Structure 1
């Protein structure tokens, strides 16, 4: 099973937020504006239904609608990857089939969550699900939410399963990255991308292929330029871009008090910028006026119009 894009996939792939009007209604106009915004910024792909897309809080009906509309808006201009993570094996496959039906290019899966899996169980799970998988698959290492990580040796073994073409790592652990990269040293075609944008530049400098960065929803060109500078080892260009990324991280993502503050800040900023609604799926809620005013202030301090 070969992807219809060159491997390894390189660059910036924003994990798209899911614009919502309410818990069961997509902000369709906002979704289209957001997709046009990130494509105009030069991104190298789009990732639907990841952590930033609030997948675990969305109904299956809404997930299917998001895939259908997004693939229609993208029109094949960049690869579309769809998160199919679920605690139920059958639901992951059902979503993968919907993704294939609507024209997505690949799917992305975390370890099944709730009960913690052993590494042999993870490999068995991947082998079983790939027998019926209609699209190439990226594994997604997200131990903070799934309670289990893909051990480096498991990643190496998974890379030998037909149809598994890459990995997104959100562990924020560069030592882990180096272990995985060493074990995959004879697989230059296997895509390896990082989630946390704060370490994307270091990751690319160390041989990683790019970033699945939430901030690219807001400022796609900034993150694309960051990637290009790191790939070219152009430190004079890279350092001020990294400063902007850290300003976003410490400003927009830290306004709230809880684990959801990253996503609340991101969605609020997109709303302030006029791109899409900031409604959050239950059990979360959008920022109130005091927090929104703080986000507006951070955007002004960033001179955000210059980043577009």
Structure 2
């Protein structure tokens, strides 16, 4: 009996990535020595592991704010003081209600974890010189980067919910219990939308030395343009138009209406627009990440500091 023939060049070439590569049709050898194609489900399972396990590990390992001595004052204390600042400014000026500033600033502060964390999880790979290793794998790029965004969305949701609850308690603003499910859904969509913008910033993390300055600028732009403390109707027309194209604007408006007693069906159009804006930014961010990765490979600048 003749020995089994070796796999041809095409099969061997596909096998370089290994059977666990997400989104690839790698080849593996059965116990009888014959090449065996990896099923589509193997690729899906591998992509799922990259999406979930890889995302959580990356967030825990690269997001330095998880240190409680940094996380608590930055993520839990700072938003309360931001809320109090604008509430008392509004009281002194006789403009707006406490609930107006409470909801606006609580939802808008989700941009801090969403923008900074998304950029830092990518920049952190570059700083630790592991970015080349990550990008040299055949893992599905969408699963790779979207997986890193899921813990960011959850963290942004928690920060905004905590700020709204504690800020309402400190100021004595009555937030109906029946409104909290709608508030939770609205803030989840807001966090996801803002993380889409963070993906676009993450692409810049592959080129620039530091992303902190850009993140602070974007945070300030969102603070002014999204109707956080000044209603869109009171802004100049060009600012209001620009604000309606940014993340958080429609979520802030929807959250205020939910707190005022509106049902989820009444604010569904606002939430749909918010989700659509976030999806557009996410697609742009993924495309930018892919392009910057290719350019960094071409010019050998992937891990230059």
> In proportion to residue count, which structure has more helix?
2
**TM-score, length-scaled by structure 1:** 0.25
**TM-score, length-scaled by structure 2:** 0.26
> In proportion to residue count, which structure has more strand?
1
> If you compute each CA radius of gyration, which structure gives the higher value, 1 or 2?
2
